[in-house]
Amino acid sequence: MVRRATIAVPALAAALLGWQLFLPPVIGLADNSDFAKTAGLFSLRADRADAFVHFARLWPFDPSYYWDSGFRTTGHVHLWLARAISGGGAVFDMRWIGLTHAGVALAALALAASALGWRALLLIPLLLDFAYSAYFNSMFMDAASIVWLALALAALVTRREGVFAVACLAFVCSKSTHAIGGVLLCGAGFWVFRRWALLAVTLAASAWSLTRITPVYQGQAVYNLIFTKLAAHATDADILSLGVRQDELRWKNTTAFEPHVPAQDERWLREFSSRISHGDLVGLYLRHAAIPLRFAWNDLTVEAPNIRPVHLGNYERAAGQPLGGKAGGPLSAWSWIRSKTMLGVPLLFAWAAWWFTRRGQWLSIGGLAWLMAGAEFGIATLADACETSRHLILFHYLTDILTAYLLITFRQVRR
The pLDDT assigned to 310 comes to 84
pTM score, whole prediction? 0.93
Instruction: State whether residue 60 is helix, strand or coil.
Output: strand
User: How far is the C-alpha of 224 from the C-alpha of 254, rounded, in Å?
Assistant: 8
Strand partners, 60: 91
Which residue type is seen at 50? D
Which element (helix H / strand E) includes 59?
A: strand 58-60
Please state whether 243 falls in left (phi above 0), alpha (psi between -120 and 50) or beta: left
The pLDDT assigned to 105 comes to 97
The pLDDT assigned to 322 comes to 84
Q: CB–CB of 173/149 below 8 Å? A: no
The pLDDT assigned to 17 comes to 92
DSSP string over 300-316? IIIITT--S-TT---B-
Q: Which residues contact 358 (CB under 8 A, 6 or more apart)?
A: none
Q: Which residues contact 70 (CB under 8 A, 6 or more apart)?
A: 212, 214
Q: What is the pLDDT along the chain (415 residues), one digit of tens a residue?
A: 567 888 999 999 999 999 989 998 999 999 988 899 999 999 999 877 778 888 999 999 999 999 888 888 999 999 999 999 998 889 999 999 999 999 999 999 999 999 999 999 999 999 999 999 999 999 999 999 999 999 999 999 999 999 999 999 999 988 888 878 888 998 899 899 988 888 888 888 777 777 767 777 788 888 899 998 888 888 899 899 888 999 999 999 998 888 899 988 889 988 988 888 888 888 999 998 999 999 999 999 999 999 998 889 999 988 888 888 888 877 899 999 999 999 999 999 999 999 999 988 888 999 999 999 999 999 999 888 778 889 999 999 999 999 999 999 876 544 4
CA geometry: angle 186, 106, 366, nearest 5 deg:
40
Residue spans of the domains in the chain: they are 2-139, 215-307+341-414
User: How far is the C-alpha of 75 from the C-alpha of 58, rounded, in Å?
Assistant: 18
Instruction: Give the CB-side neighbour count of residue 320, counting CA atoms within 13 A.
Output: 1
Report the Cα 224 to chain-centroid distance in Å.
19
- Report, in this order, helix, strand and coil percent for the chain, each rounded to 5: 70, 0, 25
| Cis bond upstream, residue 25 (ω within 30) | yes
Candidates 69, 101, 97; CA nearest to 83 is 97
